[in-house]
Amino acid sequence: MNKMGINNNFNSKYDYFISFSNKDIEKVNEIVYIIENVYHAKCWFQAKDSKAEFIDTIMEGIENSRSFLVFISPDSANSYFVLNEINHAIEFKEQHDDYNVLPIFITPDIEYTDPVYKRIRFYLGRLNILFLDKMPSLDALVLKIFEQTDFEIDNEKLMDSLYHTSDSEAKRLKAQNEIMKDFSKDFFDDTVKQDSIILDVGCASGDYIISQLQERQYSSLLGIDLDPNQIDCANNLYGSEKNTFICCDVLSNDFDNVLSDYLEDRDSIGFDLIHISSMLLHTAEPVRILRILKRFLKRNGKLFIQDEDDGANLVYPNSKFFDLAFSIWADSKESGDRHCARKIPSYLAEAGYSRVKLAKCGVSNPGMSNEHKSALWDIYFNHYLWIAADKDENMFIHTDITNKLLEEYKTLYEEYKKQYDEGNIFIQLGFFFYIAQK
Ligand SMILES: C[S@@+](CC[C@H](N)C(=O)[O-])C[C@H]1O[C@@H](n2cnc3c(N)ncnc32)[C@H](O)[C@@H]1O
């Protein structure tokens, strides 16, 4: 609401006014492309520097937008036009509480504290800034912009945009994390204490473990993954004095040293919690990994293992559509051992753990919020979010056969999605979690 009680949103022709220097056009274009073409937000974007003779048009553009985005670089920081636009946007914001001004820093090699940014820092004052280099991808930056400016994504339009990139996989995993966070919440409530030292094995970009820990008190977290890009991403997103992410193969000789050094630095004899999620299904030697981990678990520490088993996927009423979905998934090169979860008690016994408990099995839609119901669907059934759907990725083991199944699946998709949204379909996905102790 503005100071006169009028909601600016109703008057806005545009979602975003884009302020930038022409020297940054390539980077800004890439970001605006995603905002406009993937998420269908409307931008006031002159693909050239603002010019003084357009001053009235520019002021109108600023005032007819819900939010003002300014891309900060040494060039824009010293552009007379950009500084004027910021000035006008901030004045407008003073009159309109719901108007957003969001600076986005796009030049990582020069610190924002550098004197080159002195003038723009003065204009922007204490506004929250987003840093492009702290984001794992442009798509993640765009989602953050939306979050900070209260932009609601229109999912139907998103589906139409056919956006098949690995960012789609990130979205699918995000949906999965949302659901799984609830699945094991009670365990984390009981287990994580102020002085807990936690190890996450196969942490990827850290999203999942951090989503479980972020509102809790704990002493420290070590995340391990063999993928250096994921580890970079985890360190950029969550790295801190408390959270360390290290690139290492758990089956390599280094693993032992990494863990020993980490514990020695913290004067600890072991971890209070070792967390492994959706990782054992991807390894050839689960027992060997569990044996190594046992040595690093405190006597009363807990090992948490979450994994999947297609045998516990249940759907009612049955249909070809769901059979197709599970067959397509099972043929993905990245899907791992689809019957892993049922084998975990025997792996644990072989590795010498004694106190083993299956804490929960199966995640299903009844009783879920609408948001979670749709996230549950997205985990396995939203082919718009499958990287497997992108033929160029060559994701399937039997490419020709599975691509044919996928074509058939797509023709049935809308009908079953509608049935699911109307509450006519029961789905249980075969996620399990086990707790074990020494
Ligand atoms: C499906 S992801 C799961 C990520 C995260 N734990 C989650 O639940 O969202 C599996 C991760 O395990 C990692 N991984 C697989 N084998 C590994 C190994 N031998 N050592 C370290 N990481 C491994 C992969 O690189 C990948 O990031």
- Rounded to whole angstroms, the Cα distance separating 354 from 364 reads 30
Helix axes 399-421, 370-380, angle to 10 degrees: 170
Topology, domain 166-437: Rossmann fold (3.40.50)
Looking at residue 141, its pLDDT comes to 87
> What's the average pLDDT block by block, 10 residues per block, for the chain (438 residues)?
36 88 87 79 71 73 94 94 94 93 92 91 90 80 91 66 47 74 93 98 92 94 92 91 95 92 96 95 89 96 94 92 87 78 96 95 92 84 64 68 88 93 95 96
Ligand 1 pocket residue status of 258, Cβ below 6 Å: no
* DSSP-H helix ranges across 214-309: 228-238, 254-265, 286-295
Q: Residue 121 C-alpha to ligand 1 middle, in angstroms? A: 41
- Rounded to whole angstroms, the Cα distance separating 222 from 262 reads 8
**Hey, which bits of 65-151 come out as E strands?**
65-72, 100-105, 130-131
Looking at residue 388, its pLDDT comes to 43
Please tell me the residue having the least CA distance from ligand 1 atom 27: 204
pTM of the model: 0.64
* From 169, 258, 279, mutation site for ligand 1 pocket: most ligand atoms within 8 A of C-beta: 279
Per DSSP, the three-state class of 209 is: helix
How many CB atoms lie under 10 A from the CB of residue 396? Answer: 20
- Rounded to whole angstroms, the Cα distance separating 234 from 213 reads 14
What's CA 304's distance to the chain center, in Å? 22
Q: What is the pLDDT of residues 7-60, one digit of tens each?
A: 344 467 899 999 999 899 888 988 887 788 767 888 998 754 444 457 788 888
Contact, 83 vs 38, CB < 8 A? no
Contact, 100 vs 68, CB < 8 A? yes
Ligand 1 pocket residue status of 308, Cβ below 6 Å: no
What's CA 346's distance to the chain center, in Å? 33
Average pLDDT score over the chain: 86
Q: Residue 281 C-alpha to ligand 1 middle, in angstroms? A: 9
Which atom of ligand 1 is found nearest the CA of 204? 27
Looking at the chain, the domain(s) classified CATH 3.40.50.10140 span 8-160
Q: What is the pLDDT of residues 331-364, one digit of tens each?
A: 776 677 888 999 999 999 999 998 999 999 999 9
Upstream peptide bond of 317 is cis (omega within 30 degrees of 0): yes
CATH 3.40.50.920 corresponds to the domain 8-160 = no
CB neighbour list of residue 328: distance below 8 Å, 6 or more residues apart:
386, 388, 396, 402, 405, 406, 409
- Rounded to whole angstroms, the Cα distance separating 100 from 9 reads 11
CB neighbour list of residue 422: distance below 8 Å, 6 or more residues apart:
none
Looking at the chain, the domain(s) classified CATH 3.40.50.150 span 166-437
Per DSSP, the three-state class of 432 is: strand
